[in-house]
Amino acid sequence: MDLSSKDSDKVDTLMGLMTLTEKIGQLNLMAAGEGLLTGARQPTSLAERLADGQVGAIFGTKSLATARAMQERALAGSRLGIPLFFAEDVIHGHRTVFPLNIGLACSWDMDLIAATSAFAAAEAAAEGLHQVYAPMIDISRDARWGRVAEGPGEDPLLAARIATAAVRGFQGNDPGGKGRVAACLKHFVAYGAPDSGRDYDNASLAWEDLLTIYLPPFAAGVAAGAASVMVAFNAVNKLPMHANAPLIEGWLRAGTGFDGLVVSDYTGVAELTAHGLGRAPVAVARALHAGVDMDMVGEDYLRELPGLAETGVAAPDAGIALSAVEITALIDRACRRVLRFKQKLGLLEDPFRRMERAARPPARAKGRALARKAAARAAVLLKNDGLLPLSPKARVALIGPFAADRANMLGTWAVSGRADDVTPLHEAVAALTGRLPALAWGANIVDESWLVERLNVHGVTVQQDPRPEAEILAEALAAAAAAEVIVAAVGEAKEHAGESSSRLSPDLPAPQQRLVAALAQTGKPLVVVVFAGRPLALGAVAEQADALLYAWHGGVAGPEGVADLLFGAAIPSGRLAVTLPAHPGEVPSTYAAEPTGRPSPGRFAKFRTGWLDLPDDAPRFPFGFGLNFGDVLYGPPRLSRSRARAGQTVTLQIEITNTSARAAIETVQLYASDPVARITRPRRWLIDFRQVPLGPGESRVLRFRVTADQFSYPLAPSLQDAEWVRDPGEIHLHIGANSRDTQRTELTWMD
């Protein structure tokens, strides 16, 4: 069939011509290589499937030549000449690896996130890819969960804005356009709220929480035009997401109007059986019925749908009954969505449009410059007792297992990144200051050998020094003794965070805690730089350090961004997108927790919410927190009116002044709280923010629009019966530099 003709609707025409087998083949999403087996099934030979026209799409091709070869095979094997589309995990950059997404979130800079997404899209598109499995927009408030690294942090408004910016960057106005790719919002939904922080575990939460915390980023991504969505592995309130018709066909499609493609996660359909939802073919019928259009890797659709389309399914124990006719209609529905997706990408017109020579990757140097800027913007300055920025003339000892590290800087899910592309911190410092710092390993990353073995399952970057710890430390102290300033480079290995990498105790691994304590004892000025994939409880480190920089895993130019901040070539502007727990046991934690009847510290100090073994005044780094080099003062907030009708807009005005002689980038944050509502509401929640550059001594007046809809909330005895309400009465507005240090104003809605 000539798919390049423009006249008739090709999808309708194809649907009319395709056999059932061909339609089922379109629902099969395969992995390109042998790769690492991360799911329940070993993939079948791809060549075999391509020859039989039994593949709809492939992920993980890794090169333009491979994609081209596979496309040619697919076209040869498809009677109607239906092309494949190619996907990849482009999570925080492609070949040019940017900071982890949790780091990018800490930039609070939506143009930057759009720019890094656009650059990644251009690199991916030049490799023949059409879809990226990003953005990952799972809110998480649990530092134990390893995939915090990939996400936008703890706040729904920030995450929703990130979803919008990332979709804009990946897709532009057209996911099939030059240098663009289709975004895939994931993981739908509440994957970031697993029980006890264990990966893949189920989420049990109030429907109100689902509607106000976990779903808003997806709503925003859909509104921005995201072309696809990936379903999460977990169950939400007892129903596994791969069988969750009320959420997929209900909330997502009917509720938001999403009309794109829904893909399973890796063997997610097959995993319904382990969830207890029935064996194939029942599990397959449930997934298809729930709205999972493509089956990633498991091939259960391929195996089971032909039979189901003949017999239908009746499984009273699993609560599903569908006739053969109904199954056939569901196969049609899914196949049509796959074809529409291909049509949207322009593939039905030209299967090779991504593979033309004209599709050159963007200049790597441009990407590096963007990555360096992003790394500096992602790092959060948590403490600075006047030590930073350092003089380039200072004699520095750079100590710690990350001082000369490349591989870990890439962070988790950098499948196309190369450690060789990373400029390590000691070289970045040397390039900036003109002198190589004294260097020492200082401590092993972890000391439990079993943990090293576990980490190495994911890769082999966790190097250990076999010498006794005392010897390693003595060498570090000798380097420190000869220096004027110590910079300690500590943190987590990249395998510490990411998929299937939850930690029971999210803190700085013990050998590195001992290192920082020993360095602090020298009395020399001490800067601690933390490279990590999750928010860590820093404990005594926060007191021992004179300056503390939380740099995440910053990507190919991560260490250069850090060096820029250390020596004042860049100004710190990062703000925490996630609360750092005050103790590894203080999880989950969020600024937006609900109040209780016994707040802490309270009048009846013994009967309080809190822990016996954690002081109430333990040093805390709350959501939104981050320092500038100098001070920014906030004037009193003023409201345009203190009483308003629901249709009226109220303006909150505030003046901010940079009182220092250094430039600053301030992120002004506006929170709200509702002292009296029909149900308990969060203590406060973010309703807006604005990022503004301020020259030395500069003042600026900012205005925020406040509207009644920012105060509506759901009452939801069930998902279907959710009702959004808004009450008249007093609300509070809190404005400031982070979620804790704010000034309050009051406003009354008269209706």
Cβ pair 257, 299 in contact under 8 A = no
The whole-angstrom distance between residue 712's C-alpha and the CA centroid of its chain comes to 26
Would you say 221 or 511 has its CB closer to ligand NOJ?
221
**β pairing state of 742-749 and 643-644:** parallel
Residue 123: enclosing H or E segment and its boundaries?
helix 110-126
- Asked whether position 89 contacts ligand NOJ by CB under 6 A, the answer is yes
Shortest distance (Å) from residue 249 CB to ligand NOJ: 22
Shortest distance (Å) from residue 48 CB to ligand NOJ: 21
Would you say 175 or 626 has its CB closer to ligand NOJ?
175
The interface with ligand NOJ within residues 673-702 (CB under 6 A) comprises: none
Catalytic residue at 265?
Answer: yes
Would you say 30 or 322 has its CB closer to ligand NOJ?
30
Angle at 665 between CA 664 and CA 671, to 5 degrees: 130
Would you say 35 or 697 has its CB closer to ligand NOJ?
35
The interface with ligand NOJ within residues 23-42 (CB under 6 A) comprises: none
Q: Which residues contact 744 (CB under 8 A, 6 or more apart)?
A: 732, 733, 734
Distance CA 552, CA 530 (A): 7
Distance CA 138, CA 147 (A): 9
Catalytic pick among 265, 507, 546, 564: 265
Shortest distance (Å) from residue 57 CB to ligand NOJ: 12
Shortest distance (Å) from residue 731 CB to ligand NOJ: 38
Would you say 108 or 266 has its CB closer to ligand NOJ?
266
Size of the site for ligand NOJ (CB under 6 A): 6
Distance CA 214, CA 142 (A): 14
- Asked whether position 170 contacts ligand NOJ by CB under 6 A, the answer is no
Q: Residues for the chain: how many in total? A: 751
Would you say 191 or 689 has its CB closer to ligand NOJ?
191
Scored b (16 or more CB within 10 A) or e, 165-187 reads: bbbbbbbbeebbeebbbbbbbbb
Distance CA 183, CA 225 (A): 9
Would you say 136 or 747 has its CB closer to ligand NOJ?
136
Would you say 37 or 436 has its CB closer to ligand NOJ?
37
The three-state (H, E, C) secondary structure of 262-326, written as one string? EECCCCCCCHHHHCCCCCCCHHHHHHHHHCCCEEECCCHHHHHHHHHHHHCEEEHHHCEEECHHH
The interface with ligand NOJ within residues 106-165 (CB under 6 A) comprises: 133
CA atoms within 13 A on the CB side of 304: 20
Shortest distance (Å) from residue 127 CB to ligand NOJ: 16
Among 138, 155, 209, 265, binds ligand NOJ (CB under 6 A): 265
Shortest distance (Å) from residue 124 CB to ligand NOJ: 14
- Asked whether position 186 contacts ligand NOJ by CB under 6 A, the answer is yes
Report which of 8, 5, 14, 50 is spatially closest to residue 332, judged by C-alpha positions: 14
Here's the x/- map for ligand NOJ, 274-303, by CB under 6 A: it reads as: ------------------------------
**β pairing state of 235-236 and 239-240:** antiparallel
Would you say 88 or 586 has its CB closer to ligand NOJ?
88
Would you say 271 or 499 has its CB closer to ligand NOJ?
499
In sign, the C-alpha dihedral spanning 279, 281, 284, 285 is negative
Shortest distance (Å) from residue 229 CB to ligand NOJ: 12
Cβ pair 463, 600 in contact under 8 A = no
Shortest distance (Å) from residue 413 CB to ligand NOJ: 8
Shortest distance (Å) from residue 109 CB to ligand NOJ: 24
Distance CA 688, CA 391 (A): 37
Among 266, 621, 671, 711, binds ligand NOJ (CB under 6 A): 266
Which two tokens mark 176?
A: 């099939």
In sign, the C-alpha dihedral spanning 623, 625, 626, 628 is positive
Cβ pair 411, 555 in contact under 8 A = yes
The three-state (H, E, C) secondary structure of 663-719, written as one string? CEEEEEEEEEECCCCCCCCCCCEEEEEEEEEECCCCEEEEEEEECHHHHCEEECCCC
Shortest distance (Å) from residue 137 CB to ligand NOJ: 12
Would you say 49 or 575 has its CB closer to ligand NOJ?
49
Q: Which residues contact 605 (CB under 8 A, 6 or more apart)?
A: none
Distance CA 217, CA 199 (A): 20
Backbone angles phi, psi at 734, to 5 degrees: -125, 120
CA dihedral 476, 480, 481, 486 (to 10 degrees): -160
Distance CA 691, CA 453 (A): 43
Scored b (16 or more CB within 10 A) or e, 116-128 reads: bbbbbbbbbbbbb
Which two tokens mark 380?
A: 């959060």
Q: Which residues contact 562 (CB under 8 A, 6 or more apart)?
A: 375, 376, 379, 425, 428, 529, 549, 551, 554
Which two tokens mark 92?
A: 């925080």
Shortest distance (Å) from residue 141 CB to ligand NOJ: 19
The interface with ligand NOJ within residues 492-521 (CB under 6 A) comprises: 499
Please give the residue whose beta carbon sits closest to ligand NOJ in the complex.
Answer: 133
Distance CA 301, CA 312 (A): 14
Would you say 20 or 40 has its CB closer to ligand NOJ?
40
Helix axes of 300-311 and 282-290: crossing angle, nearest 10 degrees: 90
Would you say 266 or 671 has its CB closer to ligand NOJ?
266
Q: Would you call 379 exposed, middle or buried from its count of C-beta atoms within 10 A (0-12, 13-18, 19+)?
A: buried
Shortest distance (Å) from residue 265 CB to ligand NOJ: 5
Shortest distance (Å) from residue 266 CB to ligand NOJ: 4
- Asked whether position 86 contacts ligand NOJ by CB under 6 A, the answer is no
Residue 184: enclosing H or E segment and its boundaries?
strand 184-188
The interface with ligand NOJ within residues 571-590 (CB under 6 A) comprises: none
Catalytic residues: 265
Residues at the contact surface with ligand NOJ, assessed by CB under 6 A: 89, 133, 186, 265-266, 499
